[in-house]
A and B are shown apart, each in its own frame.
Chain A
Amino acid sequence: MTQLLKIRDLKIGATVYPPGEPTRWMEIVKGVSLDLEKGKVVGLIGESGAGKSTIGLSALAYGRGGVEITGGSVDVNGRDILKIRPGALRKLRGAEVTYVAQSAAAAFNPARKLMDQVIETSLEHGRLSKSEAEARAVELFRTLGLPDPETFGKRYPHQVSGGQLQRAMTAMALCPGPDLVIFDEPTTALDVTTQIDVLAAIKTAIRETGVAAIYITHDLAVVAQVSDHIMVLRHGETVEYGETDQIINAPREEYTRALVSVRQIEHVEKGPGTEPVLKVEHITARYRGLPRDVLHDINVEVYPGQTLAVVGESGSGKSTLARVITGLLPPSEGSVTFDGRTLSSAMEGRTREDLRQVQMIYQMADTAMNPRQTVGTIIGRPLEFYFGLRGAEKKRRVKDLLEKIEMGDGFLDRYPAELSGGQKQRVCIARALAAEPQLILCDEVTSALDPLVADGILKLLLDLQKTENVAYMFITHDLATVRAIADSIAVMYQGQVVRYGPKTQVLSPPFDDYTDLLLSSVPEMELGWLEQVLNTRKMQSAGN
């Protein structure tokens, strides 16, 4: 085995411009070392800000947006690429080392055909002739499972789907026959069911071309499927580095253990109550100006103090269902019954009491809070608005709520911009709780968060459910989340509920095709899971 990549004591920093504070220098990567042999795959894993992408790009001697490599060495094929001339560096990039970006949709030039872009490096670096390169590209398209590999390259980037573009970008990286490919979160932006197919395609392509790869992701279960070694990173430092089997099955560090056991929250399903707090009956809805119904004949119920998880991929209509329940989108047919009384279909027709009883928490806590209001104002407003609380009484109650979301009253006068992602979501939870509702609609509330932070939020929501006896309708695309929190589940596909019932029943065979596809799309923290699942699947994902 020959050494391909040798990174020693890599230090990377960047100039940051925090708002309202002086510009300062920040160290992003603090002395990381890494080895990679020919044909092997190493996974870099960590939360956002761990420095994993920055390390990956250093194998191309590239710093994105003001990022500078300040120390250490990066040897590719025996020479330090941080010290070579610009001309030599250009020969390395796109030939010896190539790159697959997270968003292929943005990374392809919209004005040129896919084939031209896929074979560009092979021609520029004089590696292949045009006809050879095209033949190889078609071969790669086939390996990667793209439709009509012969003619696929004649299309423009906007003419193919996101999953296909991600495969095309992989083909573009593999075409010149590089020694090393950097995969930078290649499946993160894709739909759950598509993600696994693309992951499998990438794995096949890596195996067939024998290329070495750095695979960057925040999802340990994903990286476990493709890599030989895993490096766990946190705040720019190596936490643990070892073989995949060891990291997954025998993690040494506390932090790695936490990552491995993520989403393994124990939640025992509660039996259905007698009277549902929310009853959605025969809801059919469409957006103005669109020809098709987005929701079709939806019937679900939520019981007091319980959680209904609504699960499906993007475009399945699950968020639209929440909009119908809140009255933001009046349905064309059907009714929403709350606590025994039928709610007005439009928000404008509901009483203040009706509005108070149903609260909402959003996916992006960033945009869900007015940046010009303090935490105290944000949480205090519902108290003032619904219960007429003022002054000291209001403040005391706000402090209570901050206590409940495990944040101190030191946060009273902070602005949203001064909070971390998890803290922001907690404040949104407190705002919803302030109204003392019977039902909270949670729209993908954890999907923008890092896994450990998301876990914290889920645990908090479960605890609050016990103490406040509030019901949740939990909208998500992530089945692991569903397992952790749901009492009953509704699986949505193309605007319809395809499977609905208590958690254990929905998650037990026999499955319908779509639920099977969805269930098989959640990466498990075990080796060889990917191959096994692909062999037993009944249905193809929409991204194909």
Chain B
Amino acid sequence: MRRIPLGAALGLIITVLFFLAAIFAPLLAPYGMAEVVGGVWEPASDKFWLGTDNIGRDLLTRLIYGGRTTIFIATAATLVAFGVGTALGLLAAVLGGWADQALSRFVDLVMSIPALIFALVVLSVTPTTVLVLVLVMGLLESTRVFRLSRAVAVDITVMDYVEAARLRGERRTWIIFREILPNALSPLVSELGLRFIFGVLFISTLSFLGLGVQPPQADWGGIVKENKEGIVYGIPAALYPAVAIAALSISVNLVADWVLNRTSSLKGGRG
């Protein structure tokens, strides 16, 4: 962790701030999450820094709590995706043979249907609880993580140093954790960032479509849905989440790019 380029440093700081805001939302938010505190769509004022929403709740409060929900779901889904995806991906690469074939073909199949369409199909019969959302998003995303981790691991397993370890008689666990994983980590960390962003966009989209987080819970996509009628009257309440989402995703992108570049320029270098 020597010199971090300015962009990546900025990205890192903003990302951390977002997560802190999500964790400490109840302390930061000026009002209660579902508390009606003013009139409908009041303009920004000292009292309501960003104005109020379609039923008179403080928008800043909604945004902070919304971020908490969105970031929490996206994080949880990303963890599920990585847990399942990397475990199966590495396993497929190390085992090879029919296990690899079966897993890879199944993932091809799931990926042959667009993720959003698949999610819609599944959500038409399942209850829209947070747990279901996390699982559906996480499992759909895990297909992409599987592909990447498998590809990276396959590239590494054909390296002579892995062969050397096998010839030495090392166990499979040593080979996975000491030879493959340390070298697969950087592309995976970078992918972690991209998948997280995708999770934020995905859950926002689902909530916007009314199929994600259910009211009165606040989340960024839901805020847009609740306030979209205001737009035709020139009330920008629905657009604030755009700023939040853009800021978060650009920040994470910058960090992910840096992680990837740092390591690809380091092909066979130190970490």
Contacts and interface: CB of A to CB of B under 8 A. Distances in A.
A and B touch in the complex (CB under 8 A): yes
Interface of A: 17, 19-20, 326, 328, 347, 350, 352, 355-356, 359-360, 362, 364, 366-372, 381-382, 385-386, 415-418, 431, 435
B270 A20 contact: yes
B113 interface: no
Interface in B247-271: 265-271
Interface residues of B, number: 22
A414 to B, nearest CB: 9
B168 A382 contact: yes
Contacts of B161: 367-370
A347 B167 contact: yes
Contacts of B163: 328
Contact of A415 (B159, B169, B265, B269): B269
B160 A364 contact: yes
B160 A362 contact: yes
Nearest to A355: B169
B179 interface: yes
A360 B168 CA distance: 10
19 contacts: A17-B265, A19-B265, A19-B269, A20-B266, A20-B269, A328-B166, A328-B167, A364-B160, A368-B160, A368-B161, A369-B161, A370-B179, A370-B182, A370-B183, A371-B267, A371-B268, A372-B183, A417-B266, A417-B268
B170 A19 contact: no
A355 B270 CA distance: 29
A378 to B, nearest CB: 8
Contacts of B179: 370
Given A20-B2, A417-B268, A372 B182 contact: yes
Q: Of residues B160, B163, B265, which shows the largest number of chain A Cβ atoms within 10 Å of its Cβ?
A: B160
Contact of A352 (B164, B169, B271): B169
B170 to A, nearest CB: 7
A367 B269 contact: no
Interface in B174-188: 178-179, 182-183
A355 B167 contact: yes
Given A20-B266, A417-B266, A418-B270, A371 B160 contact: no
Contact of B268 (A328, A360, A362, A416): A416
Nearest to A371: B268
Interface of B: 2, 159-161, 163-164, 166-170, 178-179, 182-183, 265-271
A435 B167 CA distance: 12
Given A19-B266, A370-B179, A417-B266, 10 more contacts: A20-B266, A20-B269, A328-B166, A364-B160, A366-B268, A367-B161, A368-B161, A370-B182, A372-B271, A417-B268
Contacts of B266: 19-20, 417
Q: Of residues A350, A370, A381, A418, which shows the largest number of chain B Cβ atoms within 10 Å of its Cβ?
A: A370
B134 to A, nearest CB: 33
Contacts of A415: 269-270
B19 to A, nearest CB: 28
B271 to A, nearest CB: 6
Given A20-B270, A366-B268, A371 B183 contact: yes
Contacts of A435: 168
A147 B182 CA distance: 51
A355 B168 contact: yes
B188 to A, nearest CB: 14
Contacts of B166: 328, 347
Nearest to B182: A372
B56 to A, nearest CB: 55
A45 B146 CA distance: 48
A372 B161 CA distance: 11
Q: Of residues B178, B266, B268, which shows the largest number of chain A Cβ atoms within 10 Å of its Cβ?
A: B268
B81 to A, nearest CB: 25
Contacts of B164: 360, 362, 368, 431
A367 B160 contact: yes
Nearest to B264: A19
B180 to A, nearest CB: 9
Q: Of residues A17, A371, A381, which shows the largest number of chain B Cβ atoms within 10 Å of its Cβ?
A: A371
Nearest to B169: A355
The 9 closest A-B pairs by CB, nearest first: A371-B268, A417-B269, A368-B160, A372-B182, A415-B270, A19-B269, A19-B266, A355-B169, A362-B160
A436 to B, nearest CB: 13
A415 B168 CA distance: 21
Nearest to B166: A347
Contacts of B183: 370-372
Nearest to B268: A371
